[in-house]
A and B are shown apart, each in its own frame.
Chain A
Amino acid sequence: MDGLLFSDLTVWSMDWTLLILLVVPTVVHGNPTVTVRTGSGPPVGSNQHPNSVPLSEDTQTTTEVREVVVEEVMMTGMLNPSHYPARRAATVVQHYLNTRYGSPYRWIFLSKVHSGSAEDVAEMRKYQLELTMQEIISNVSGQCSAELLFPGGEGQSAPQVQASCEGLLQSNTTAQEEAFYQQHRASNNMVSGNDIPDSYGHMEPNMKPFWHLGGVASSFIMLRESNESTLYNMAQVANFTQLETEKDQLRVNYHVLLHEMISQEIIHWKLLVTWSPEQGVQVLQTELQPKCHNCEAPPNTTN
């Protein structure tokens, strides 16, 4: 009986195994049903009444419009270095450093936020940050400690920044700056340019220092205009025109396009900039250009 049982079982299980082995390949390469299907996210197309925020002053239409923005809760305490509050504040430090140290051969960008904290101090918001900044022409990086104060209340005054960096300003730009200065200070050959970079991201090599200078000069505006709900970059030098050198300063008129990330707006500014190796970059005048809604090219542009 046992012997018969065993052999029957063996044959039987071998048959099953054979069947399974035949079946498995086809099933495995067929169409599996994917398990995760139910979402418990917010209901699609719900009719909840949105939060609304009062109109900003520069709206030009007469119909009622709304900026539907979630009131951003101001973070206090330790900040997550990869989250936006630290990044926005760090970008303000970047603008500050460029106003202090930038030149046609020195342009600084935020590389990394290591740590940060924020707190309410009287009516103001105070940030402390540990950052790595990078000077992008020489590719030298440095560690920076910074403190910012965003003013509270209604008045739109600029944030106050203090920063100290190690190793960031190592690159020796003296020779290049001096050469650039000497090349352009004489009156007989005023330089101008436009669309820097162009649509393809290109620029002539001799335009690059003017691009850097435009970026540094824009930092004065970007610093002044920054708050906890902005993130500015210079998108392009639309055009620049060199003017006569005065008091040993190179003078340049710029029209720049700034990109403000949180609104995604492109904002036009004109600025009058002076520079020399000794005096550094100074911005004498700034003028916000009006946004021209009706200046758009007609539709049906052919490709």
Chain B
Amino acid sequence: MMMLGLGSVGLVLLSLAVQSGHGAQDSAVWSREETTERNYYTRYHNMSEITAWMEQMKRENPDVVSSMVYGQTYERRNITLLKIGLSSTVRKKAIWMDCGIHAREWIAPAFCQYFVREILRTYKTDTKVNEMMKNLDFYITPVLNVDGYIYSWHNESTRLWRKSRSPGTGGCTCYGTDLNRNFYANWGMVGVSTDCCNLFYCGTKALSESEAWAVTDMLGKMREDILAFLTIHSYGQQLLVPYGHPNTSAPNHDELMEVGLGAAMAIKAVHGMDYTVGTSPDILYPFLGSSQDFARLIGIPLSFTFELRDKGEHGFELPEDQIQPTCEEAYAGAQHIITYTHDKAFYSYAATVTATLWTTLLAAWVSSAILL
């Protein structure tokens, strides 16, 4: 009991000390240990916290949230997604979102957490979100590169790690493959390096990394059902559309640009932030072997990479007081894409069906009039 008392006194003192360093907006005592709803989504969380949070989401929303372990990292950790949607007797269409393919981009997993919380918070009261939860399942991977993410939490000197944590081969002693160069999408051709020390090391072969393999496997199994693929990164404030090769356009490039520009407008409406939209070769640099390109190549029509805040002032180390506004604007952008995807699949189909049926009816009426 005394230990508890001392512990809580210590906690209060610690939190008072910490508060001055964090520049907290409100004057209430603020502690890193607090898991109250109000503070949770304005902080970065390590892997065990995110794992616990996934369990909590399932526990609190058992009728709409389930989880799936769909692969293992190099260091044999689970790669887990949350499947979120109203249950249905028929097979449903899906939206795929993954965060944290690059370890140092901490705002990305924070956004996945925010996104999950937001749809769970609003699906009962917001008719549009409810409709989408009914018609779609959301497959959300809060942290894809689990090993890399954990490594980036190790200490200050590892904070800016990017790649996976598989060891180099053939006499090359550095660690890690760039997971976003390891996909079977014109692997190894452009914007990569065969030097295992390089930040763009694409691996010994396509899908040499178990993390990339896990995503490939899932997407392959679900390819008939996935309507949109979103992969979340930072920084740069951009929305990238396929392909990463400078001389190749996706067959629905115009649609991708239109939806992307709509999403950028939705983002800007929230906090005034500008997000640039384009193919990677146009607005960033060319590269192949990305998950986004792979998704498009296997037929998922809408495939976007989000590069969240900022534009270089803090870079990867985005302050926690920017997590909420960043997530709010990114959510608006994602919802624009998802709503478009949903409505295109469900409303234009309905319009087609109705038109077909009325045409059939009319034809039948006319033909029977002629016959009779």
Contact pattern, B 180-204, Cβ under 8 Å of A = 1, otherwise 0: 0000111111111111111110000
Give the shortest distance, in Å, between A138 (CB) and chain B (any CB): 14
CA gap between A50 and B251 in the complex, in Å = 23
**Minimum CB–CB distance for B171 against chain A, Å:** 6
9-residue interface stretch from B1-9, B53-61, B152-160: B152-160
Q: Smallest Cβ distance from A156 to chain B, in angstroms? A: 20
Most buried by A among B159, B162, B184: B159
Note all chain B residues with C-beta closer than 8 A to A61.
Answer: 171-172, 195-197
Q: Is B246 in contact with chain A by the CB < 8 A criterion?
A: yes
Does B25 interact with chain A (Cβ within 8 Å)?
A: no
Q: Which of A6-40 contact B (CB under 8 A)?
A: 8-9, 12-13, 16-17, 20, 23-24, 27-32, 34, 36-40
Collect the chain A residues with CB atoms within 8 Å of residue B318's CB.
201
**B316-A16 in contact (CB<8A):** no
Among A39, A45, A265, A291, contact of B186 (Cβ-Cβ < 8 Å): A45
B357: min CB distance to chain A, Å: 5
**By the criterion CB–CB under 8 Å, are B283 and A60 in contact?**
no
1/0 contact string of B16-28 vs chain A (CB within 8 Å): 0000111100000
CA A247 to CA B311, docked complex, whole Å: 37
Closest CB of chain A to B48's CB: distance in Å?
A: 5
Q: Are the C-beta atoms of B21 and A68 separated by less than 8 Å?
A: no
Q: Least Cβ distance of B190 to chain A in Å?
A: 5
Q: Is the CB–CB distance between B299 and A204 below 8 Å? A: no
Instruction: State whether B251 touches A293 (Cβ < 8 A).
Output: no
Contact B357 A109 (CB under 8 A): no
In the bound assembly, the distance between CA atoms of A65 and B206 in angstroms comes to: 17
Residues on B with beta carbons closer than 8 Å to the beta carbon of A279: none
B297 cross-chain contacts in A, Cβ below 8 A: 39, 41-42, 44
When distances are taken between beta carbons in the complex, the residues of chain B under 8 Å from A40 are 251
- Residues B283 and A46 in contact, CB atoms below 8 Å apart: no
Count of chain A to chain B residue pairs whose CB atoms are closer than 8 Å in the complex: 230
Q: Which of B78-86, B116-124, B364-372 contacts A (4 or more CB under 8 A)?
A: B364-372
B315/A259 in contact, CB under 8 A? yes
B222 located at the interface, meaning its Cβ lies under 8 Å from any Cβ of chain A in the complex: no
Chief secondary structure at chain B's binding surface:
loop
What chain B residues lie within 8 Å of A84 (beta carbons)? 282-285
B175 touches A299 (CB 8 A): yes
Contacts of A234 in B (CB 8 A): 312
- Interface core residue of B186, B191, B298 (most chain A CB under 10 Å): B186
Q: Are A200 and B48 in contact (CB under 8 A)?
A: no
A62 CB contacts on chain B under 8 angstroms: 171
A50 touches B189 (CB 8 A): yes
How far, in angstroms, from A24 to B92 measured CA to CA in the complex?
Answer: 18
| Set of chain B residues within 8 Å of A257, measured between Cβ atoms | 160
| Complex alpha-carbon distance, A293 and B154, angstroms | 17
Considering the complex, which residues of chain A in the window 118-133 have a beta carbon less than 8 Å from any beta carbon of chain B? Answer: none
Can you list 17 A-B contacts (CB < 8 A)?
A9-B369, A13-B365, A24-B357, A29-B346, A39-B299, A44-B185, A45-B206, A65-B193, A82-B283, A84-B285, A199-B156, A201-B322, A259-B160, A296-B158, A299-B175, A301-B150, A301-B151
Q: Which residues of B contact A (CB under 8 A)?
A: 20-23, 43-44, 46-48, 75, 90-93, 106, 135, 150-151, 153-160, 162, 165, 167, 170-175, 184-200, 206, 227, 236, 242-243, 245-246, 248, 250-252, 274, 276-278, 281-286, 293, 296-299, 301, 311-320, 322, 345-346, 349-350, 353-354, 357, 361, 364-365, 368-369, 372
* Known contacts A13-B365, A17-B361; 17 further A-B pairs (Cβ under 8 A): A8-B372, A31-B90, A32-B346, A44-B184, A44-B297, A45-B184, A51-B189, A68-B191, A70-B286, A84-B283, A109-B313, A199-B317, A200-B320, A293-B173, A293-B197, A295-B157, A299-B75
